[in-house]
Structure 1
Amino acid sequence: MADLKQLARQIFHETLAAIDVPAAMQRKLRRQGTRIVCGEKTFDLKDFEKIRVVAVGKAAHSTVEGLVFALAPFVGFTGAVAAPSLPKKAVPGLKYFAAGHPLPNEESWKAAETILTLLRKCDARTLVIFLLSGGGSALMELPLDAKQTLEDVQQWHKALVTCGASIDEINTVRKHLSAVKGGRLATAAPEERRGELLGIGLGAAVVGAA
């Protein structure tokens, strides 16, 4: 019985460690002098004049916390965060949106507009860091058809999540209806002025969320 309790305790602590988002960020991202290392990619901060951060998802605040810790000593950046709630402590330079989930709300719409504007102003000397986690599809949303209203978007979001389709099938449809999915965020800046992009995803189906 003691062995079973010890095993259960071990599993419990390993599970907590696995879902510790800042710790997961530190495993994915680290700083070596002026360089940022993420997996097999390396970015030298000396090559950039600006850093822009876009954090979207239910774990957005935790991913930002992990980013700040991983980049210590602190590297200044600006950007936008779309999450279900506002943070207990805001990071200077970031604009926050209490966006809707599972259905997008007005803040989801504002977040998408802000992020698109931010990305369109990037240039070749800009490093853009995307922090994506689950729930991003609703937390940041803007219709591809400019004639659609927020109510229209909420209706087709609701239809998609209640129709019994898989998340991959839902995301396939979403990317044809959304101005911020299907790779449109990554190509928001004009090609001749496009900077470097570093994307970090945590959670399920984040690839289809942006």
Structure 2
Amino acid sequence: MTRRHPLWRACVAELLGTGMLTLAVVGSGIAAASLSTDPGIRLGINAAATGLALYVIIVVLAPISGAHLNPVVSLVDVTLGGRPWKHLAGYLPAQFIGGVLGVLLANTIFGHAPVAISTTNRLTPGHLGGEIVATAGLVLVIFALARGPAHRAVAVAVAAYIAAAYFFTSSTSFANPAVALGRIFTDSFAGINPTTAAVFLPAQLIGAAIGAALAVLLFPGRRAHLRSDTRI
């Protein structure tokens, strides 16, 4: 018998999961910077740790909240009829708060100041284009699988996509407004300055819209459902 979870529990899962994700991103970035001076090795460590952590987080939390861990994924899910719009009132704050808390925890456990505003500038046309591509691809992967019989492959596909996108996108694939917000608060390898983060947001929204449109175009007539057992 499937257990039905109340919405508040799903929101806790989203806060925890997004926090774990940014902890993995920033913590592995700090660790990588202390282990090597080679940018490629640093990025490889960062990508591998993020991909592995993301897979585990999705597998553990998907039955409770769908493991969105990302405001644009939640926006697309409600737009495509996967869950009620009122879920956004809980999901979005949980994701943004979790994203920041995960970064503060990463800073703290590695002996850095809990809050250190990033000075890393990633604001170039190439980076913005990279964010559109990264977010469009992520949304397409998620909702193409969710609209078809291969929905059980979402966790491994998303983890693999994000790890790969660290290398094939110029922006290193933030693809997530909550992650971008959190990474403002670390002046480390994984940081992003506030101006860049603010401009990344519209790029991510554009990418999400493109990815959702492609998923519907490729898989018409199927209703997307990021499976969870959340009670309204």
| TM norm structure 1 | 0.27
Using CA pairs under 8 Å that are at least 6 residues apart, name the structure with larger relative contact order, 1 or 2: 2
Larger helix proportion of the pair: 2
Larger strand proportion of the pair: 1
| TM norm structure 2 | 0.25
